[in-house]
Amino acid sequence: MNALAYFPMYPDDFEADTAHLTLAEDGAYNRLLRLCWRTPGCSIPAEREWIYRRLRALSDDDRAVIDTVLEEFFTIESGRCSNARLTKEWLAANEAYERRKNAGSKGGKAKSLKTLAAASSNAVALAKQPEPEPEPVKKEEPKGSSKKRGSRLSEDWQLPKAWGQWAVSEGLDEISVRREADKFRDYWISAPASKAVKVEWQAVWRNWVRKVLDDRRSKPSRHAARGSNDFGAFGQIPERC
């Protein structure tokens, strides 16, 4: 049984990072966090089939949702998949648990020595039982701290060429990509700070494009946009935001 039976939840932080998720994506994210926490080392094998089985993702739609969440919120290192914030909380909780366990072990040994000394001779000085080390109080990070977990989209943001090429490869024509890039920029620069701070903007763009494509498949447009799939005109777009 995992000794770390629970993990802390910070609703404001969580909502700020996940407000854009669909109900299915939010559920998949929570289930992935629980799976990581209950796995030794707070990381899971970076094997999609292994993850699908553990999360009981039986349909293609369920697996697509999991892929989206993994791409945005998890990193892969040495064949293991983990979430940076969750790992930080797990390390702090594990350190506190080990400290309490060691303190309890020291107290038990000292009590045994004290009992033996009293039984052998009342003249023998009794061993002083060490006091358990108090668990340090975790300090909350002050608001406005310089340690940032994300950033806002700049007002002069332009779609990187590689991002546009990816959108075309997914099925959008060039004209639609340019239009969606403008909508993407206008939406996020006008969104409130609690919603518009993101860690990985490329993943947010990919989710945006996927939603556009899903909407088109469910409601086919009567007037398909005319444009080239060559994407050569995107050479004007800078390589970086």
List own/partner pairs for 171-174 with CB under 8 A and 24 or more apart: 171/213, 172/209, 172/212, 172/213, 173/225, 173/226, 173/227, 173/228, 173/229, 174/227, 174/228, 174/229, 174/230, 174/231, 174/233, 174/234
Return the pLDDT at 115: 65
Rounded Cα gap, residues 27 and 6, in angstroms: 18
Q: What does pLDDT average to over the chain? A: 81
Return the pLDDT at 139: 57
Return the pLDDT at 148: 55
Do 184 and 164 meet the contact criterion of CB atoms below 8 Å apart? no
75, amino acid identity: T
Region of poorest pLDDT, from 110-119, 148-157, 165-174, 197-206: 110-119
What residues does each domain of the chain span? 1-132, 161-236
Return the pLDDT at 94: 81
| pLDDT beyond 80 at 105 | no
What are the tens digits of pLDDT across the range 183-240? 999 999 998 887 888 888 999 999 999 999 998 888 765 544 454 454 444 544 444 4
What are the tens digits of pLDDT across the range 65-99? 999 999 999 999 999 999 999 999 988 888 888 88
Do 109 and 102 meet the contact criterion of CB atoms below 8 Å apart? no
Which of helix, strand or coil describes residue 163?
helix
16, amino acid identity: A
**Helices (H), ranges, 45-173:** 48-55, 60-73, 84-120, 161-170
> If we measure between CA atoms, which residue out of 81, 23, 79, 77 comes closest to residue 54?
81
| pLDDT beyond 80 at 5 | no
Calculate what percentage of the chain has a pLDDT beyond 90.
46
Query: Is the whole model's pTM more than 0.75, yes or no?
Result: no
Angle, vertex CA 129, rays to CA 126 and CA 134, nearest 5? 165
Rounded Cα gap, residues 168 and 172, in angstroms: 5
Radius of gyration of the chain (CA): 26
